[in-house]
Structure 1
C-alpha cells in the first residue's frame, strides 16, 4: 500500500520533469508522448538565460538565506531565554508569541506594509527581511524552547566553573546539541521564505529586485500555454528546496543527543 501511495504521489513530479524536456508542448502531452521524450536542457537554458530567471534566482537566494539565518539566530536566542531564564510575565509573553502564529498571513499584509512604508523600507530587501525574520522568530522560538528544555542544566556547570557566562553556555552547549532541531527549522524557514509570494509582491516594486515566486507567476501568465517552459521554470524554482532537504534530512529532530553526557 505504501509503494502504491509513493507511485501515485511521485508520478506528477516525474510527469513534470519529462514534459520539461519536450519542445513546444502547448497542450498537456499524453503519457506515451512524455515517456518518449529525450533529455534536453534547451527549455531550462531558455528560461534561465532569456527570461531573467538567473537574476530572480539570486535575489531569492539572498532573501531566503538571510531570512533563514536571521530567524534561526534570533529565534534560538529567544528560545534560550524562555527555556533558562526567569523574568516577569514570562509565560504570558510566550502565549502572546503563540497567539501571533494563529493570525493568517493575508490579514497581516496591510498593517505590515503600513509599518514598512512608515520606515521608508518599501522596495528594499531590508523591509522584506524585517517581516520574514520577525515572522520566523516566533515559530523558531516555540519549536526550540521545548528542545532546549530537554538539555540537562548540569551540562552548564563546567562552563560556569571556568568563568563562562550565558553567551558561552548558549554557544558551546545549546547550539551544538541542537543541530537536529536547527536543521529541521532551517528547512522550514528557507522553504517558507523561498516560496512566499504575497508579502514579496506588496513590498518589492522594481523588476530587478523581484524574487523567484514573483518572476514565476509573471512567467506563467505570459507562457501559460507552453507547458514545457512552465514546468522547466517551476522545477528551477523548487530545486533549492529539494537540495536543502537532502543536505539537512539527517538533521531531523532525533533523540539521544545528550545520552552519556552526564555520569549516573
Structure 2
C-alpha cells in the first residue's frame, strides 16, 4: 500500500470506528441505565441528572422482585413453556425442512411458499381467530395451550431456516447411507441431525427467545394467576399511578439471565449456523 493510499485509508477507518462506536453506545446505553437503576433505591430511580453508578447501591430490588407476587412460580412457568416450545419447534421444523429439502412430491413448492406467506401476517391480526380456536379446543388458560400455539407459530420460520442448511449437505452422504440400507428415518436421525447442529442450535435459540419473551398471546389466553408467565409477572410491577422502576428493571434483568445463558452456551453454533447457509431458501 502506497503512502497516499495509507493517508486516505486512515480517515476512512477512523470514521468507521466512530460510527460503529456511536451505534454501539446507542444500543448499550439503555441496558446500562436499566442495570444501574435496578440497584438504586426507589426514591433515586428517576433522579436528575441520572447517575450511572448508583449511590447508595442496594440489592433490595432483586430480593423484592424474586420474593414478591410469586415470581418464582412465573419463572418456572416460563421455563417450562419455553423449553417445551424449543424442543417441539426444533424437532418438527427439522422434519419439515428435511422433507422440503430432500424429497420431491406434488405441490412441494406450493406448500413451502404457503408456509412462508404465513410469516408475513402480523401476530396481532390473528390474535382473535387464535383465541376462538383455542377456546374450541379447550386450550385457553393452559400452559400446554401456550406451547401448542407457540410451536404452531414458530414452525414456518424455523423450517425456512433449516431447509437451506439441509439442501447444502452433500447428496453423496445421503446416497451412501441409502446403499447401505438406511431408511428415511435412519438417515434423518443418524446423518442430518448430527451434521446440522449449528443450524439446529440457531433454530433452538430463536424458538426459545420467541416463547420466553412472548406477551400478547399469554395476556389474551391466560387468566389463572398460577399459570401466568414471566412477562405478565413483570407487568404487574407497573402500578396504575406510580411505578417502582428499580423493581421493574430488577425483574427484567432476572428474566434476561436465561436468555444470556442460552446465547452463551450456543454462541459458537449460533454464529456458525447463521453464516453457513442456514438462512438460504
Q: Does residue 1:75 correspond to 2:96, yes or no? A: no
Q: Does residue 1:244 correspond to 2:243, yes or no? A: no
Q: What are the equivalent positions in structure 2 for 1:1-264 lying under 5 Å apart? A: 1=18, 2-25=20-43, 27-30=45-48, 33-37=51-55, 39-221=57-239, 224-251=242-269, 252=271, 253=273, 254-255=275-276
**Greater radius of gyration (CA):** 2
How many angstroms apart in 1 are the aligned matches of 2:177 and 2:189? 11
How many angstroms apart in 2 are the aligned matches of 1:236 and 1:4? 28
8 A Cα contact 1:67 1:133, kept in partner: yes
Instruction: State which drifts further: 17-26 or 209-218.
Output: 17-26
How many angstroms apart in 2 are the aligned matches of 1:151 and 1:108? 36
Secondary structure of the corresponding residue to residue 175 of structure 2: helix
Normalization by structure 2: what TM-score? 0.85
8 A Cα contact 1:56 1:215, kept in partner: yes
Distance 1:27 1:45, change over 3 A: closer
Deviation at 1:37, TM superposition (A): 3.1
CA deviation map 1:186-212 (0-9, x unaligned) = 111111111111111122110000001
Distance 1:25 1:163, change over 3 A: farther
How many angstroms apart in 2 are the aligned matches of 1:82 and 1:54? 41
8 A Cα contact 2:168 2:277, kept in partner: no
CA deviation map 1:194-236 (0-9, x unaligned) = 1111111122110000001111112223684322111111111
Normalization by structure 1: what TM-score? 0.90
Specify every segment of 5 or more residues in structure 2 that has no aligned partner in the other structure, as ranges: 1-17
CA deviation map 1:16-54 (0-9, x unaligned) = 111111112365134564424355322111110122111
How many angstroms apart in 2 are the aligned matches of 1:75 and 1:189? 10
CA deviation map 1:54-80 (0-9, x unaligned) = 111110010111011111000000000
How many angstroms apart in 1 are the aligned matches of 2:73 and 2:235? 15
Q: Which runs of 4+ in 1 moved over 6 A?
A: none
8 A Cα contact 2:165 2:276, kept in partner: no
Distance 1:58 1:175, change over 3 A: same
Specify every segment of 5 or more residues in structure 1 that has no aligned partner in the other structure, as ranges: 258-264
8 A Cα contact 2:74 2:230, kept in partner: yes
